Structure 1
Amino acid sequence: MNRIVKDPTFTLDFLDKISHNGGGLRWECIQNEEAKRIIVQEYHEYLYGQELVVLNHKTCEYLIERLTVDRLLSSSSETVNLFDYFGEIIFDTAVTVLYGETFARSQPDIYSSCRTFEAVIGTMMLDIPFKSFFLRSTIRQRNQFIERFLDLKPNDDMSKLILARIESMANLDDGRVFNEWDRAGQHALLLWAAIINTGSLACWALVDLLLHHDALEAVNHELNTTVKNLTSLYNKETLDELRILDSCIHETMRRISPSVTQRQAGQNVIVTCTDGTQIGIRKNDIVVYPAILKHFDSEIYDHPYEYHYDRFIKQQSKVLPLILFGMGSRMCPGRYWAINKIKLFLAIVLIKLDIQLLMDDDYKQKMRTRLNFQLSNLFTNLGPHEKDKHQFRIRYSMKK
């Protein structure tokens, strides 16, 4: 797959259909080369370096405030579904950090709207005749999420990435490249991409810690000895010192990562594999490589179906090939913020809350061997299967 990723014959142009069908953007703006260049430039300018520190800081502040407020409004202990409760908190964090508190407060039910958008976007990718007729209900559900961004205006509490995106779309060719709906669709897709898997991955990482007491004890000890002040948790130096927590996150992501590397052939081509096998690929064929094939390869990972919280510490001398955010030059530009967001969430939750997983013992044992996650959506990991959702209830309270 590495050869295919590096081969210019293979492209990701077919993913433009996500913008067209999923976001309702016109082909004229999707295929505008100057717009593509500016968007990539904005990602590299505002998702790395000092701007990443700013995003981490805002993420940390919001999570601390949100969990504190939620506890003040509740009784001594609460019983909730782990994925529902924390999934919404992580989503609200992304909305507030990227688009600002002003926008977030004006959209009280945006979480449920985004979940609906997430559920229908796969259907919107289908190439069927008379789509506007047969999928009119689906299109309406998609549009209801996009419409939330139609009146988006610059605000001081927005991230620099969003402010830059608003300005560039308004100014490119005097505003003639992106119309009003294109701009709203761009923002809807950006928010969706920012949270597409982060929430469920963070929740599964917490589930793994609650299932494995040795891992939980090791992480709690690391937090107690490393984090002197919760408000400075976002500092790069502090986050880098949380090596056990980082290893736990990567181990969970290895077990459930829905990452799929895809490339489309621009012409008929013959690919030679490392063992000499030659494979003929036709023009427009799409090559798909699910990361899970490598993540459960026993020649790469010892006991791949077991959870080893320190796997990525013990084998530091050997680079373990995790595929979490795609491959090549089109890797997810927000991958560093995504990992930091999960790390901040887990650290703050474990420091502030006592949590009990109310799961049947037999089901716990099953989960320790293999996380029973749902991967039925075209693009996302939506958490546990609906029939098993009741197994993920938790009882939590504020630590004294």
Structure 2
Amino acid sequence: MMMSPVLLLLLLGLLCFICLRRKRRPGEAPLVSGWIPFLGRALDFGRDAQAFLQEQRRRHGDVFTVHLAGKYLTFILDPLLYPSVVRQGRQLDFHQFADTVAPPTFGYPPVRKGFPGLSEQIIRSFQLMQGEHLGVLTESMMGNLMLVLRQDHLCAGGGGWTSGSIFDFCNSVMFEATFLTIFGGPERGRRHEGMEDMREDFQRFDRMFPLLIAQVPIGLLGRTRAVRSKLIDRFLPDRMSSWTGTSQLIKTRSKLLEQHASLRDTDKGAHHFAILWASVGNTVPACFWVLYFLLRDPEALQAVRQEVLEVLRQSGGEFSPEKDLALSREQLDSMVLLESSISEGLRLSSASTNIRVSQEDFSLRLNAERSVSVRKGDVIALYPQSMHMDPDIYQDPQSFRYDRFVQDGRVKTDFYKSGQKLKFFLMPFGSGTSMCPGRYFAVNEIKQFLSLVLLYLDLDLQPGQNRVSLDYGRAGLGILLPNADVRFHYRLRAASQSPAE
């Protein structure tokens, strides 16, 4: 009986896969493969990355290589080994990975090809989110948060309770306030029209973001290309030229992009759209998690609210629900309990992967006694969530403890594993050259949002809801989304209320 052509091709493909399947070489880390061509163990990783990696850790130790979606990632899970990877700059490169995945994800041409010097100029532009520029951004963000909160929420309900969902609430406030701070407002009026539609389109794109980063062609993702094009159109130069109050970051980047005549207007718009995603893609879920954890812990809620009020009083200010509030950068820096609550929320919800791509075959020295052989093109991956959930570092790591990062009234930075002090103990923003350049602004705007919400609003979770958990669909990409939204209600606080009321 003759074999059908289709079956013959399948058998030949399987035979090629078996023959070409990667084999572990001497000196290399244990290899975790899969029987599914190309995907490897991607499905297992996607279901629950933390559980999958901990299982491999039990089997193979702290260093092992996993075949994921056509790539080989060598995971290093011992945080005591992290410094060796972070300081290895010559043979391990972050920008190669970013330059490969970001352009097709956001829809602009590769920057390092055909645009000499542009990549380095863009990287330097991020300094405009730090130092003295951070103070300007912080002041602008405070005004925009007050604007959105005052008009949309502080006057709602006529003094009674208003019902809502925490993620939707955080998203509606933070998305627009951040947009106004980074990109500016319309030529007339203070708020852009169509912001709700834009936010919904952004969420549609964001749901496909993990697949785009995994380099799934956008043409296979339904209406994602059309949604992305609609978002990019919001940032075309002719439209942005009439906006007022635009941040120095965007002004500078716009000038850099204008210097290259071969860049189309849609390419420039795509670059700005990428900044929008970087600005809100992780801060919105971070705000959700910290606010959710605080509402579940009355002691934490009272302590943090009391701290914000005390900072106000120490500077001679008093809170009044009828008056807009301005918190300075120095005041925000002094709120150690609030900062600890944010750090704890980030510890519990972040699942970023620190990526480095090997530029050649070489032996990576991990410590004085240990090294591992790495092939050119392989990825070295640090997965800090394994450290964040380590009971040897954090007692009862699954629990939210608002004061975990406070010691003697100051920010705590001493954490240990196996009796050794850790250089890296909390890594929601990456490390080394891959560390998020907007991390200071991100923490400040989360502080601002939470300070204003706790001061101006009484909030309470609606009863009868199950606890939400992490959705691992974005594992490796930053702050995880909740697997469901949470219902709550809120009302304007009275000026005479004490923190405990």
* 1:32 corresponds to which of 99, 115, 136: 115
Q: CA deviation at 1:133?
A: 5.2
Change (3 A) 1:79 1:73: closer
Counterpart Cα distance in 1 of 2:402 and 2:355: 29
Change (3 A) 1:357 1:162: same
Counterpart Cα distance in 2 of 1:257 and 1:205: 12
* Contact in 2 for aligned 1:124/1:138 (Cα 8 Å): no
Change (3 A) 1:239 1:116: same
Q: CA deviation at 1:134?
A: 3.8
Q: Write the mapping of 1:1-400 to structure 2, written as runs, cut at 5 A.
A: 1-7=82-88, 8-12=90-94, 13-27=96-110, 32-44=115-127, 46-70=128-152, 71-75=154-158, 76-102=160-186, 105-108=192-195, 109-127=197-215, 131=217, 134-135=220-221, 137-150=223-236, 151-154=238-241, 155-170=243-258, 172=259, 175-227=260-312, 228=317, 233-274=326-367, 276-314=369-407, 316=411, 318-320=413-415, 321-360=425-464, 363=466, 367=467, 372-377=469-474, 379-381=477-479, 383-386=481-484, 389=485, 392-400=486-494
* Contact in 1 for aligned 2:108/2:267 (Cα 8 Å): yes
The residue type paired with residue 220 of structure 1 is: R
**Structure 1, 297-306 or 198-207: larger mean CA deviation:** 297-306
The residue type paired with residue 121 of structure 1 is: F
Counterpart Cα distance in 2 of 1:140 and 1:262: 30
Counterpart Cα distance in 2 of 1:134 and 1:197: 25
User: Could you give the per-residue CA deviations for residues 102-141 of structure 1, whole angstroms, max 9, x where no partner exists?
Assistant: 185144321111111212233234456xx47544633223
Q: CA deviation at 1:277?
A: 3.5
The residue type paired with residue 156 of structure 1 is: T
Greater share of residues in helix = 1
What runs of 5+ residues in structure 1 fail to find an aligned partner?
none
* Contact in 2 for aligned 1:53/1:234 (Cα 8 Å): no
Give TM-score scaled by structure 2 length: 0.72
Counterpart Cα distance in 1 of 2:145 and 2:403: 26
Sequence identity of aligned pairs in percent? 25
SS at match of 2:380: strand
**Structure 1, 35-44 or 306-315: larger mean CA deviation:** 306-315
Change (3 A) 1:380 1:143: farther
- Which structure has the bigger radius of gyration? 2
Change (3 A) 1:132 1:47: closer
Counterpart Cα distance in 2 of 1:358 and 1:240: 32
Q: CA deviation at 1:221?
A: 1.4
Counterpart Cα distance in 2 of 1:40 and 1:232: 34
Change (3 A) 1:179 1:398: same
Counterpart Cα distance in 1 of 2:240 and 2:175: 21
SS at match of 2:123: helix
Counterpart Cα distance in 2 of 1:42 and 1:318: 29
The residue type paired with residue 332 of structure 1 is: C
Q: CA deviation at 1:229?
A: 5.0
Counterpart Cα distance in 1 of 2:140 and 2:83: 36
What runs of 5+ residues in structure 2 fail to find an aligned partner?
1-81, 416-424, 495-501
* Contact in 1 for aligned 2:405/2:413 (Cα 8 Å): no
Counterpart Cα distance in 2 of 1:317 and 1:98: 31
Change (3 A) 1:212 1:201: same
Change (3 A) 1:68 1:317: closer
SS at match of 2:186: helix
Over the aligned positions, Cα root-mean-square deviation in angstroms equals 2.3
* Contact in 2 for aligned 1:233/1:239 (Cα 8 Å): no
The residue type paired with residue 152 of structure 1 is: R
Change (3 A) 1:133 1:83: closer
* Contact in 2 for aligned 1:101/1:157 (Cα 8 Å): yes
Q: CA deviation at 1:215?
A: 0.9
User: Could you give the per-residue CA deviations for residues 264-303 of structure 1, whole angstroms, max 9, x where no partner exists?
Assistant: 1111122233373332221111122221111112222222
Change (3 A) 1:127 1:99: closer
Change (3 A) 1:167 1:106: farther
SS at match of 1:345: helix
Q: How many residues align?
A: 383
Counterpart Cα distance in 2 of 1:31 and 1:241: 46
SS at match of 1:206: helix
Counterpart Cα distance in 2 of 1:116 and 1:60: 28
Q: CA deviation at 1:201?
A: 0.5
SS at match of 1:267: coil
Q: CA deviation at 1:168?
A: 1.7
Change (3 A) 1:359 1:21: farther
SS at match of 1:105: coil
**Structure 1, 309-318 or 280-289: larger mean CA deviation:** 309-318
Counterpart Cα distance in 2 of 1:28 and 1:252: 35
The residue type paired with residue 97 of structure 1 is: T
SS at match of 1:360: coil
